[in-house]
């Protein structure tokens, strides 16, 4: 009895519900699913490939300034790798210089003020990966490396003047991971100076180690 009453009540209600739902369903049928997922599934394309052609970092070492002693040098560098062979590098470095032998021996004579003794340079160079290769530590570890040659032009600010400067040298890049590299570099900075009387070409040698990251 109870179930009959229930079914009597239910069936028209069900009918009503279905009747109400039908046009809605019919209307929505050609469209996409009713519930839209909150998160869009991201489609990765070629544009999402992370390019790592830029390299940026800092270095520290020793720089010998002709007639003015050898002192610690610090600097920053940035590079752009054009191909697997060639790269462009911009660098800025600075070092302090000492008194010349003449100044020390003569006692009183001062050639430069302390401000003028600061040696700063910047340059833009082209590098070539001459010997790319792998280095092995034990039998389990292999690291990508490259011995490169590099040369370029720039400016040196020393003794109150700026001088057009040519630099050239060689370096060794050791990639600890895909994007972290250790560098060892030797560079000669050449410029003409008339600081000690007659104009002469000075060679200023620099050796430094550095750390860079690719991005």
Partner 1 sequence: MHLKLIAMWIWRFVVLALCLQSAAVVAAKDGFFSFGKDGYFEVTITDPYIELHTGPGRGYPIFHVIDRGERIEVRKQRTDWFKVRGTGGQEGWVSREQLSHTLTLAGEPIQIDEPGMGDFSKRRWEMGVLGGDFSGANVLTFYTGYAFSENMSVEVSGSQILGSFSDSLMANVNLVAQPFPAWRISPYFTLGTGVIDINPRVTLIQAEDRTDQLGHVGVGVRAYLTRRFVLRAEYKSYVIFTSRSDNEEIQEWKAGFAVFF
Please give the residue ranges that form the binding site for partner 1 (CB under 8 A): 42, 44-54, 78, 80-84, 90, 116, 122, 124, 129, 132-134, 142, 144, 153-155, 157, 159-164, 178, 194-195, 214-215
In the complex, the smallest distance separating the C-beta of residue 99 from partner 1, rounded to whole angstroms, is 18
Q: Rounded to whole angstroms, how far apart are CA atoms 202 and 188?
A: 10
Of 28 and 52, nearer to partner 1 (C-beta) is 52
> Exposed, middle or buried, 146 (CB in 10 Å: 0-12/13-18/19+)?
buried
Residue with tokens 């739902």: 21
In the complex, the smallest distance separating the C-beta of residue 198 from partner 1, rounded to whole angstroms, is 11
Residue 118 in tokens: 């600061």
In the complex, the smallest distance separating the C-beta of residue 92 from partner 1, rounded to whole angstroms, is 8
Closest CA to 165 of 207, 199, 112, 202: 202
Please give the torsion angle defined by the CA atoms of residues 170, 171, 172 and 173, in that order, rounded to the nearest 10 degrees.
-130
Cβ-based neighbours of 195, under 8 Å, separated by 6 or more: 111, 159
Of 166 and 184, nearer to partner 1 (C-beta) is 166
In the complex, the smallest distance separating the C-beta of residue 143 from partner 1, rounded to whole angstroms, is 9
Q: Rounded to whole angstroms, how far apart are CA atoms 139 and 172?
A: 22
Cβ-based neighbours of 164, under 8 Å, separated by 6 or more: 153, 155, 191, 192
Residue 7 in tokens: 């079914």
Of 70 and 155, nearer to partner 1 (C-beta) is 155
Of 65 and 159, nearer to partner 1 (C-beta) is 159
In the complex, the smallest distance separating the C-beta of residue 19 from partner 1, rounded to whole angstroms, is 43
Of 18 and 82, nearer to partner 1 (C-beta) is 82
In the complex, the smallest distance separating the C-beta of residue 161 from partner 1, rounded to whole angstroms, is 6
Of 2 and 199, nearer to partner 1 (C-beta) is 199
């Amino acid at each position: 009895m109870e179930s009959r009453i229930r079914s009597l009540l239910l069936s028209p209600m069900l009918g009503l519900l279905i009747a109400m739902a039908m046009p809605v369903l019919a209307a929505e049928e050609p469209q996409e699913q009713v519930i839209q997922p909150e998160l869009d599934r991201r489609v990765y394309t070629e544009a999402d490939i992370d390019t790592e052609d830029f390299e940026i970092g800092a270095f520290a070492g020793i720089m010998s300034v002709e007639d003015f002693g050898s002192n610690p040098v610090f600097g920053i560098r940035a590079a752009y790798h054009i191909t697997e062979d060639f790269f462009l590098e911009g660098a800025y470095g600075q070092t302090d210089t000492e008194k010349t032998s003449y100044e020390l021996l003569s006692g009183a004579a001062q050639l430069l003020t302390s401000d003028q003794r600061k040696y700063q340079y910047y340059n833009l160079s082209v590098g070539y990966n001459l010997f790319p290769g792998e280095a092995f530590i034990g039998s389990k570890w292999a690291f990508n490396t490259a011995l490169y040659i590099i040369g370029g032009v720039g400016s040196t600010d020393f003794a109150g003047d700026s001088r057009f400067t040519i630099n050239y040298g060689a370096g060794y890049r050791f990639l600890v991971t895909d994007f972290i590299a250790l560098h060892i570099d030797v560079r000669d900075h050449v410029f003409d100076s008339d600081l000690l009387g007659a104009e002469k070409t000075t060679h200023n040698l620099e050796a430094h180690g550095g750390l860079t990251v690719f991005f």
